[in-house]
Amino acid sequence: MSTATSLEAALEPIRADPARAAVLLDVDGTLAPIVRHADDAHVPEPTRSVLIAVSRKYPVTACVSGRRAAIARRIVSIGSISYVGNHGAELLRAGRTEPELDPEFAAAGERVRAFRDEVWRDDARLQRLRVRGEDKGEIAAFHWRGAPDEAVAEAAVQEVAAHAEAAGLVAHWGRKVLEVRPPVHVDKGAGIARLLAGVDVDTAMYVGDDTTDLDAFRGLRALVAQGRLESALCVGVRSDETPPELEREADLLVDGPAGVRSVLEALL
C-alpha cells in the first residue's frame, strides 16, 4: 500500500470525522530524521507547520516517544498537543508543564540511575569507544551510532546489557541504542491506552519506525479488539534500518520522515 490511491483509502476512516479520530506519531525517525547525536534531533519546519495544521483539525493529536516527554516536546516545539514519553511511563498533557509519571516506574528508576552511575564510573572503555550516554531519568540509554568502530562499541554495550540483566534490570534494544529500564512493564501501547482513556474517539492512527513502535501498533489493535475503538491504522516508516517485524505488522509503509509529512498533508 504505497500508492497515493492506497494512502487515500487507508486514511479515509481517520479523515471522515476528525473530531473523533486520534493522530499519534513517534518522534525520532518519524517526525525528526535520525541524527548521529541524539541532542541534535529536531523536526524540520515544513513538517512542524503541517503538524500544527493537523493538530488544529484533529483535536486528539499526540507524539509518543522513547525520550522524556519534556524533551520530545522540545524537539517537536508544539505545546498545544500531548506527549507520551519514556515509552509510555510519562504523560504530558497538552498545555501542562509537568508530566504524569507511573509511580511504580518512578520508584524503580532509582536502581537504573545507580546502575548508570556505576557503569560510567567503572567502565572507561565506553568513553574511549565514543559510546554516548543519554539520561532519560528512569531510563539510561547507551548510543553507539557514529562511534569510530561501531561494531566494537556495540560489543561493549552488549556487555553493559548483560550486566544490567544480571542486576535485575531490563535491557531493551533500539536502532543502535541500548536502553536500561526498570523491571516495571511500560510500553507505548499502554501509554496510548492511558492517553485515550476517557477520550471519545472512534479511530486512531499511529506512525512509527522502530521496534518499540510495534507495542503501539499492538496496543491500538487491542483497543479495537476490546471495542474501545472501531478501527486503527498502523503506519510503518521505512529506512535502511527498518526492523523486519515493523514491515510485517504495518498496515501501510511510507519512506522516511518525508513520507510521514506526506501522510500528514493527506490528513488535511
Distances (CA, A) of 228 to 23, 82, 148, 221: 16, 20, 48, 10
pTM, two decimal places:
0.81
135-172: pLDDT as tens digits: 888 889 999 999 999 999 999 999 999 999 999 999 98
87-142: pLDDT as tens digits: 899 999 998 989 998 888 888 888 999 999 999 988 889 999 999 998 888 889 99
Cβ–Cβ under 8 Å, residues 203 and 21: yes
* Residues 22 and 142 grouped into a single domain: no
* Residues 140 and 162 grouped into a single domain: yes
> At residue 43, does pLDDT exceed 90?
yes
* Residues 142 and 193 grouped into a single domain: no
pLDDT for residue 5? 53
> At residue 33, does pLDDT exceed 80?
yes
Domain stops at, among 135, 163, 181: 181
Between 174 and 1, residue with greater pLDDT: 174
pLDDT for residue 30? 97
Question: What's the domain range around 241?
Answer: 4-8+17-33+40-101+186-267
User: What one-character-per-residue DSSP string does 5-60 give?
Assistant: HHHHHHHHHHHH-GGGEEEEE-SBTTTB---SSGGG----HHHHHHHHHHHHHSSE
Which cell is 192 given?
496510548
> At residue 1, does pLDDT exceed 60?
no
* Residues 50 and 122 grouped into a single domain: no
Number of domains in the chain: 2
> At residue 44, does pLDDT exceed 80?
yes
